[in-house]
């Protein structure tokens, strides 16, 4: 191959790289423009299976509440989430029992030793609600496909942070559900304080049987028993 061919091939490769980079930027822009996404009110009314499991809280589930000392801030039960859409009918935090127990014990330790508390952003997520999320954001980079499900659908995943004695969130570098490399656990171009806070959260979660993931500092799954995807839906009549 002569020099000219090498040059042509190199130029072609560089163009491809530029094209891929611009695609990535476009997808980021698309996410920022979520508010302009198609009208989702119809979606929210559809895709709810009327035959959802209606059994009461059973031996399978345990609810985490503010009475146990948690701060409950279930973002998908409000418009304060990355989709700016309310997904859940009401705010409750259910988990499989062993995961719930572990969180209760961890919260007790944080209160006792540090005057900290756990703040919970998302807990068990019924399959139908996974479908709602998917219908609004059909992108596996942000939402698990409903047929595959996520650990949240199995009742063992939690989205979580720590607050201090004045209920101020420890600085973790980004908000919950921030989609970008700054939210990655292995992104280290952050202040010493942020890195220490993330390390502290992860160390404590691991100590109580949870495992983190690389791309979201707030997401942890309990490593105990495996559970099937569930569509048990909690009642909103309580209170």
Q: Which CB sits closer to Zn ion, 218 or 232?
A: 218
Part of the chain binding Zn ion (CB under 5 A), chosen from 24-32, 52-60, 77-85, 214-222? 214-222
Part of the chain binding Zn ion (CB under 5 A), chosen from 18-26, 31-39, 91-99, 159-167? 159-167
Q: How far is the CB of 87 from Zn ion (least distance, A)?
A: 13
d(CA 64, CA 71): 9
Part of the chain binding Zn ion (CB under 5 A), chosen from 17-25, 49-57, 152-160, 224-232? 152-160
Q: How far is the CB of 126 from Zn ion (least distance, A)?
A: 14
Part of the chain binding Zn ion (CB under 5 A), chosen from 25-33, 88-96, 155-163, 189-197? 155-163
Q: Which of 62, 73, 135, 159 binds Zn ion (CB under 5 A)?
A: 159
Under the binding rule (CB under 5 A), the answer on residue 177 touching Zn ion is: no
Q: How far is the CB of 235 from Zn ion (least distance, A)?
A: 23
Cα dihedral 215, 76, 161, 175, rounded to 10, equals: 60
Residues in binding contact with Zn ion, number by CB under 5 A: 2
77: left (phi over 0), alpha (psi -120 to 50) or beta: alpha
Q: How far is the CB of 218 from Zn ion (least distance, A)?
A: 7
Q: Which CB sits closer to Zn ion, 150 or 197?
A: 150
Q: How far is the CB of 26 from Zn ion (least distance, A)?
A: 25
Q: Which CB sits closer to Zn ion, 110 or 183?
A: 183
Under the binding rule (CB under 5 A), the answer on residue 219 touching Zn ion is: yes
Residue nearest to Zn ion (CB): 219
d(CA 107, CA 159): 14
Under the binding rule (CB under 5 A), the answer on residue 62 touching Zn ion is: no
Residues in contact with Zn ion by CB under 5 A are 159, 219
């Amino acid at each position: 191959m002569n020099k000219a061919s090498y040059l042509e091939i190199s130029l072609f490769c560089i163009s491809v790289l530029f094209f891929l980079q611009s695609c990535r930027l476009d997808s980021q822009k698309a996410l920022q423009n979520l508010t302009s996404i198609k009208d989702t009110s119809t979606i929210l009314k559809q895709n709810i299976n009327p035959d959802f499991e209606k059994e009461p809280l059973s031996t399978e589930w345990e609810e985490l509440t503010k009475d146990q000392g948690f701060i409950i801030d279930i973002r998908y039960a409000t418009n304060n989430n990355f989709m700016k859409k309310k997904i859940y009918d009401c705010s409750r935090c259910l988990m499989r029992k062993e995961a719930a127990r572990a969180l209760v014990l961890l919260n007790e330790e944080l209160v006792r030793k540090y005057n900290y508390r756990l703040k919970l952003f998302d807990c068990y997520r019924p399959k139908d609600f996974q479908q709602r999320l998917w219908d609004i954001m059909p992108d596996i980079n942000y939402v698990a496909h409903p047929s595959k499900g996520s650990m949240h659908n199995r009742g063992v995943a939690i989205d979580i942070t720590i607050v201090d004695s004045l209920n101020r969130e420890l600085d973790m570098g980004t908000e919950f559900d921030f989609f970008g490399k700054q939210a990655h656990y292995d992104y280290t171009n952050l202040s010493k304080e942020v890195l220490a806070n993330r390390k502290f959260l992860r160390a404590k979660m691991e100590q109580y049987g949870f495992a983190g993931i690389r791309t979201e500092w707030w997401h942890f799954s309990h490593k105990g028993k495996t559970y099937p995807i569930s569509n048990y839906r909690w009642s909103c009549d309580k209170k």
